[in-house]
Structure 1
Amino acid sequence: MGSYYDAPEGVDVRGRYDEEFATRVLTLDALRFVAGLQREFRGAVQHAMERRSEAQRRYDSGEVPRFDPATRLVREGEWACAGVVPPVIEDRRVEITGPTERKMVINALNSGAKVFMADFEDALSPTWENLMRGQVNLRDAVAGTITYQDKARNNRVYKLNDRTATLFVRPRGWHLPESHILIDGEPAIGCLVDFGLYFYHNHAAFRATHGGGFGPFFYLPKMEHSREAKIWNSVFERAEKHAGVGKGSIRATVLIETLPAVFQMDEILYELRDHSAGLNCGRWDYIFSYVKTFRAHPDRLLPDRVLVGMAQHFMRSYSNLLIRTCHRRGVHAMGGMAAQIPIRDNPVANEAALELVRNDKLREVQAGHDGTWAAHPGLIPAITEVFSSHMGATPHQIDTMKRKDATTVTEEDLLQKPRGVRTMEGLRLNTRVGVQYLAAWLTGTGSVPLYNLMEDAATAEISRVQNWQWLRYEAILDGDGVGARVTKEVFARVVEEEMARIEREVGKERFEKGMYREACKIFVKQCMAATLDDFLTLDAYNCIVLHHPEAPAKL
C-alpha cells in the first residue's frame, strides 16, 4: 500500500491523486525538501510539545504563567530585531485574512488592504483538497496569473488588479499533523508541509516580483514559548540555505494568541530577531487560551464571550505590553481582528456595526498599533480612514511610540480576572455558534458567516471551552437565568433547543443534508469531557482524513 505520487524514499502520500497536485505541488524535489525539514526538526517539535504539556500540568496544580527569571537579561537587554524593515511591508495599516480558496485569494489581494494573510490554519478546514488546492492557488497568485470564473454569477471572471496586497502565509500550528502524508511511517508535521511546499515552489518568484529581495513572508500561530520560535528560526535558516539566499530574507510575524506566550514576547522576538516582522494580538485565540490555561482554576470563570473585549484590564494590558515590546525592538505591533461583516439588508444595523469597528480601531491606533486586521473587504475603507487620520503618511508608529515610555505592565495586570455576567443567552450562543461552525468545518469550510460575524476556529474554540468551564464548575447564571446553575441537565436542554433553532434558521432540507447532528455530537462530547482537550480541531480532524492508498489503474 505505497504512494502513487512520485515520492522520495520514506515518504508515503495517502491523499487523493490529482495530476495538478502531482505536477505543481507534490513534486519529487518538493517532497524531498519537506521530508528533510521533518527529519531535522521532529525531535525538537516533539520536545516542545512535551514541554507544553508539562507547563499545563503545573497550571493545573495551581501555578500561573510568569515572566521567566532565567531570561531576565533578554527582557532587559538593549537589542533590536533585524535592522531593515523590508520596504514592501513597511506600511501594514490594514491587513485582511482569509482561507486559500481561489476566489477569496483574488478578492483579498484586490481588497485595498496592505497585506493579505492567506490562512492554512484557523480559517481553513484542513481537508486534503483544501490544502493542496490552496497551494496551487497561492502559486498562481505569486505568479500573478490567478483567475477564477464564477459560474454562479454569469461566468464572471475574477483576476488580479495591477496593484495588490502583499502576501503573507499562515501555516498550521506545531501541534497539528498532516495525516495524508507519512514520513518514515509518521504523520507529517502540518506546518512544515504548509511552509515547505509554499516556500519551495514560490520563494524565487516571490522575491523577484513581490518582496523586493525579501520574503516570502509568514504569520506563525499558536506558540506558547520561545523554544517554539527558535525551531521556526532554524527552519527559516535551513530554507534560506537551501534556496541560496541571505540570512534574514524570510520575515515572519508571530501571533501572540496564548496566555503563556504573552510572558515570552521579548524572548520570542529574540529567537526570531533576524527574521522578525513583529507580533500580532490574536485576541480571540488569546481568550480561548486563557480558559485552557486556567482550566483547573474555578475562580477564573469567564463572563459571556461578548463581554471579553479589550475593555477588560487583562486584555488591554496584553495589547499595551505587545506594543511596547515590539517598538522597543524595532518591529511592527499589529492589532486584532475586526470580525464584523456587512449587514446588507439593514443599513441602520450595518452603520452601528461599522461604528463599533471604528471605535475599536481608533483605540488600537491611539494605543500605538501599526496596523490591524479585517475579516471582510467591506471593512477596509473605514479602518484605513481611522488609521490614516491618526498616522497620516507615516507608514508605522515604531519610532514615534518608541520615544514614549509606556506604563509598566506587570504580571498582575496580565493575570487580572475578567469581569462580567454569565447568562443563559451566553450559553445558548456558544452552543449554536459552536455546532454550526463545526458542521461547516466538517464539510470543508473553515471561515463561516454567523450572526453578522465571520467565525473561524478561534471563536468555535472559545464557545467550546467556555461551555466546558461553566459545566465543569456548574457556573451560576445571571440575567434571565438568575440563580440557575449550568448542570448537565440544563446543558442537555439547551442543546436540544438550540438544535431546533438551528434547524428553523437554516431550513429543514439543509439541516438534514448537512453535518449538524455529527457536529453536535462532537461539540457536546468536548463540552462535557472530564478533562478539557487542547483543541477541538484535533478531535474533529480524524473525521476529515480520507486515505487513498491504492494507485489508480494506468491505461
Structure 2
Amino acid sequence: MVSQGVKIHAEVPGAAQSIILTDSALAFIAALHRTFESTRQTLLRNRLAAQYRLDAGAQLDFPSETKNIRDEPAWICAPPAPGLEDRRVEITGPTDRKMVVNALNSGAKTFMADFEDSNSPTFANMVNGQHNLYDAIRRQIDFEQGGKSYKLSPNPAVLIVRPRGWHLDEPRVTVDNRPVSASLFDFALYFFHNAKELVGIGSGPYFYLPKMEHYLEARLWNDVFLFSQSYIGMTHGIIRATVLIETLPAAFHMEEILFELRQHSAGLNCGRWDYIFSFIKKRRADPSAVMPDRKDVTMQVGFMDAYVRLLIQTCHKRKVAAMGGMSAQIPIKGDEKANQEAMDKVKADKLREVTAGHDGTWIAHPLINKIAMDIFNEHMLGPNQYHVRREDVRVAAADLLDTNVKGKITDVGVKSNVSAALAYSAAWISGNGCIPLNHLMEDAATAEIARVQLWQWVKYNSVLDSGHPITVGYIDSLIEEIAPEIKKIAPGVKDEQVRIAADYLKAQVRKDWPSEFLTSDLMPYLESLDGGKWVKSAL
C-alpha cells in the first residue's frame, strides 16, 4: 500500500520498483517533501531574483553578512569519514549495472555513482540505478552478460552518490499532488535503504552535491541530513558530502558552504565544465563575457585559475579535501599516436592538479586509472595535501570575474558546439546520458557549454575569425548540415529524437535569454520512455 498522499506515475519492469519504492521509503520521501519543499522553492525563487540583479548590472562579490565566518581561523570541518581519507583518484559514471561493477573494480579509490549529469533520468534509469547500488553494497550484484562474467572484487572502490540538483523535480512521484524534489528523491532512496548497511561494513552514506548557487542551499542540505539521520535513528555526522563548485555564484560562497555543512563536509570539487557553463550563463547580459572557442577556455585562463587556487586554499584552511576535475579522455583504439596524445593530455592535467595542491582527481574510464594514480602517487606521498595551505593565494572578486580569455571563434569551433549539443540532446532523450564524442566521454555539461556559447555568439553579433557573422541563419544551416550525421555520432538515437534536438537548438539561439538547463527543458520528452506519449513541443 502506497503511503498516503504519495502517487507513482510510472512503472519499471522487473523487481527493482518493488524493492526500492517500498511503502516505508515512500513515507520517508513524503516526510522530506512536506518538511523541506517550501524552503527549496524559496531558494529557487532567490536564484531568479539574483539573476535579475546581475542582468541589471549588479556585480558578484563575497557576501558581506558572512565576513566573520571567512575571517574566523578556528573552525574546521569534520575529520574524513572511513574510506574518504585518501581520494587520490575517483572514477565517475552512471549507475547501470555493468558500469557499477566496472567502476567499483577499476582500482580507483572511490566511485561517484551519478544520478545527475551523466545520467538520463528515465524512471527506469533512476529506479534500476538505485537497485544496482543496493545490490552492490550487499555484494549481490554479480551477473553474466554476453558470455562475460561481471563480479565484484574483494576490495571495491568506496561508493559516493551524486543526486540531481535542487532545480529539478521528479515528476513520476508526487506528494499531495506536487512533484517531489529530484534531489530528495535520489538522496532519500539511497540513504533510506543503505545508510545502516554502509555503516555496518565500515563505510557510510557519502554524497556529491551539485549545482548549488548559495550557502543557504548548503544549509538546506545540512538540515535534510540532520532530519534524515534522526528519522532512521542514526548518529548525526555519519553522512559526508562533497560539494561541486560548478556555478559562478558558489565560487563566492565556498567558505560559507563548508561552514554550513561542517559536521557533514567532505570538501569541495572543481566542477570545471559546468563552471564554464555557469560563467557564461550568469553573465548573459554582459557583452564583455563573450568567450572564444570552447577549446580555448582552459584551466589556465584567468577566471578558471583563480577559482582553482581559491578552492584549494579554502578547503585546506578548513581541513577537507580539495578535489580536482574530470579528465574526459578515453582510450583511442587503433590509433596509437592519437591515443598517446590523449593520454599525454591526461598526464599534464593531473600533474597540474597535484602540484597545485589538489587531494584527488576525476577520471571517466577505468583504463585511465593507472595514469592518474601514478602521478598522484609520485607527487602526493600522504593520503591528502591538507598541509598545503596555499597561504600565498590572494583571490579578489575581480579575479573570479576576469574575462580576458585569448582565442578566436572559428568555423570549426561553432560546428563542434552544434554537433555536441545535437548529439548529446538526442542521446539524452533516448535514455542515454553519457556518450563518447571525439574520444571524450561527455555528459550534460559539455552540451550546456555548447548551447549557451551558440546563444551568446548570436546574441552579441559575434563574428568568426574569417569575418563571417554568426547569425541564426548561419546556426540553422549548420544544424541542418550536421543533424543527418548525428545517428552515427550517437548510436541508438532515432530520427524523431534528432529532430527534437535540432528544433530545440534552433529555438535556443533565438531566445532573449538562454534556458537555465537543457535537462529541465527536455525532461518532458522522456515520458515516452516511461510508457507515456510524446509531448507536443513547447519550443
**TM-score if structure 2 supplies the norm length?**
0.96
Mean alpha-carbon deviation: is it higher for 295-304 or for 315-324?
295-304
C-alpha distance after superposition, 1:391-431 (max 9, x if no partner): 12x100002x02x4122111111110033211111110000
Q: 1:189 aligns with which of 139, 159, 181?
A: 181
Q: Secondary structure at the match of 1:466?
A: helix
Secondary structure of the 1:97 match is strand
Deviations 1:33-92 (A, max 9, x none): 011001100011001000000000011111221111111111111233334212411000
Task: Give yes or no for contact 1:10–1:183 (8 Å, CA) kept in 2.
Answer: yes
Q: What amino acid is the match of 2:523? A: Y
Determine whether 1:398 maps to 2:378.
no
Paired position in structure 1 for 2:274:
285
Number of the residue aligned with 1:24: 19
How far residue 144 of structure 1 moved from its aligned partner, in angstroms, is 1.3
Aligned residue identity for 2:73: E
Query: Which deviates further from its counterpart, 522-531 or 428-437?
Result: 522-531
Match 2:525 to one of 538, 543, 551: 543
Counterpart for residue 44 of structure 1: 39
Match in the other structure for 1:112: 107
CA contact (8 A) 1:81 1:276 kept: no
SS in 1 for 2:92: strand
How far does residue 378 in structure 1 lie from its aligned partner after superposition? 1.2
Aligned pairs for 1:327-476 within 5 A = 327-392=316-381, 394-399=382-387, 401-402=388-389, 404-417=390-403, 418-476=405-463
| Residue identity opposite 2:486 in structure 1 | I
Q: Secondary structure at the match of 1:123?
A: coil
Quote the Cα distance in structure 2 between the aligned partners of 1:533 and 1:84. 39
Query: Structure 2 counterpart of 1:183, which letter?
Result: V
Q: Which residue of 2 aligns with 1:320?
A: 309
Contact residue 281 and residue 319 of structure 1 kept, 8 A: yes
Deviates more, 1:413-422 or 1:437-446: 413-422
- List alignment gaps of at least 5 residues for structure 2: 533-539
In structure 2, the residue corresponding to 1:167 is in which secondary structure?
strand
How big is the shift at 1:210? 4.2
User: How has the CA–CA distance of structure 1 residues 169 and 505 changed in structure 2, closer, same or farther, with 3 Å as cutoff?
Assistant: closer
1:48-197 alignment to 2 at 5 Å? Answer: 48-151=43-146, 155-197=147-189
Residue 498 (structure 2) aligns with: 516
> 1:362 offset after TM fit, Å?
0.5
Q: Indicate how the Cα distance of structure 1 residues 109 and 490 shifts in structure 2: closer, same or farther if over 3 A, else same.
A: same
Q: How does 1:216-365 map to 2 (within 5 A)?
A: 216-365=205-354
Q: What is the CA–CA distance in structure 2 between the aligned matches of 1:105 and 1:505, rounded to whole Å?
A: 24
Q: What amino acid is aligned across from residue 199 of structure 1 in structure 2?
A: F
* Alpha-carbon offset, residue 467 of structure 1: 0.4
1:533 counterpart = 2:500: no
CA contact (8 A) 1:166 1:210 kept: no
CA distance in 2 between counterparts of 1:56 and 1:177 reads: 21
Change in 2 beyond 3 A, CA 1:538/1:511: closer
Deviations 1:146-188 (A, max 9, x none): 123212xxx2110100111000000000000100001110111
**8 Å Cα contact 1:322/1:333 also seen in 2:** yes
Q: Give distance in 2, aligned partners of 1:32 and 1:503.
A: 42
Q: Say if 1:271 and 1:454 are closer, same or farther in 2 by CA, change over 3 A.
A: same
Tell me: CA distance 1:19–1:108, structure 2 relative to 1, closer, same or farther (3 Å).
closer
Instruction: Give the conservation status (yes or no) of the 8 Å contact 1:253–1:280.
Output: yes
1:318–1:414 contact (8 Å) kept in structure 2: yes
Give the drift of 1:235: 0.5
Stretches of 4+ aligned residues off by more than 3 angstroms: 79-83, 500-507, 510-514, 546-549
Q: Secondary structure at the match of 1:542?
A: helix
- Within 2, Cα distance between the matches of 1:268 and 1:545? 35
Residue 535 of structure 2 corresponds to none
- Read off the aligned partner of 2:151 and give its amino acid letter: K
Following the alignment from structure 1 to structure 2, what is the Cα–Cα distance between the partners of residues 120 and 387?
A: 27
| Partner Cα distance (1:30, 1:511) in 2 | 34
Distance 1:29 1:490 in 2: 54
Q: Is the 8 A contact 2:12 2:124 kept in 1?
A: no
For the pair 1:484 / 2:471, whether they are aligned, the reply is: no
- Cα deviation, 1:13-41, whole Å, max 9, x if unaligned, reads 00115462343101000000011001100
Q: Secondary structure at the match of 1:255?
A: strand
Q: Is the 8 A contact 1:226 1:271 kept in 2?
A: yes
* Cα distance in structure 2, aligned partners of 1:73 and 1:80: 11
Give the deviation of 1:515 after TM superposition.
2.2
CA contact (8 A) 2:437 2:489 kept: no
Q: Which amino acid aligns with 1:476?
A: V
Letter in 1 for 2:341: A
**Greater shift after overlay, 528-537 or 232-241?**
528-537
Q: Structure 1 CA distance, aligned partners of 2:455 and 2:211?
A: 21
In the alignment, the residues of structure 1 paired with residue 35 and residue 25 of structure 2 have an alpha-carbon distance, to the nearest angstrom, of 16
Q: Could you give the per-residue CA deviations for residues 179-200 of structure 1, whole angstroms, max 9, x where no partner exists?
A: 0001110111001000001110
Give the match's secondary structure for 1:111: coil
| Structure-2 residue corresponding to 1:552 | none
Work out whether residues 179 and 545 of structure 1, in 8 Å CA contact, stay in contact via their aligned partners in 2. no
DSSP-derived class of the 1:398 partner: coil
In structure 1, runs of 5+ residues without a counterpart are 1-5, 550-555
CA distance in 2, matches of 1:440, 1:303: 26
CA–CA distance in 2 between the matches of 1:378 and 1:131? 26
Q: Is 1:80–1:330's contact at 8 Å kept on the other side of the alignment?
A: no
Q: Deviations over 1:304-339 (max 9, x none)?
A: 111111110110110000000000001000000000
**Is the Cα–Cα contact under 8 Å of residues 224 and 260 in structure 1 kept in the other structure?**
yes
Q: Which amino acid aligns with 2:291?
A: L
Q: How many pairs are equivalent?
A: 530
Alpha-carbon distance in 2 for matches of 1:358, 1:29: 47
Pairwise CA distance, 1:501: 4.1
Percentage identity across paired residues of the two chains = 46
Distance change (3 Å), C-alpha of 1:22 and 1:382: closer
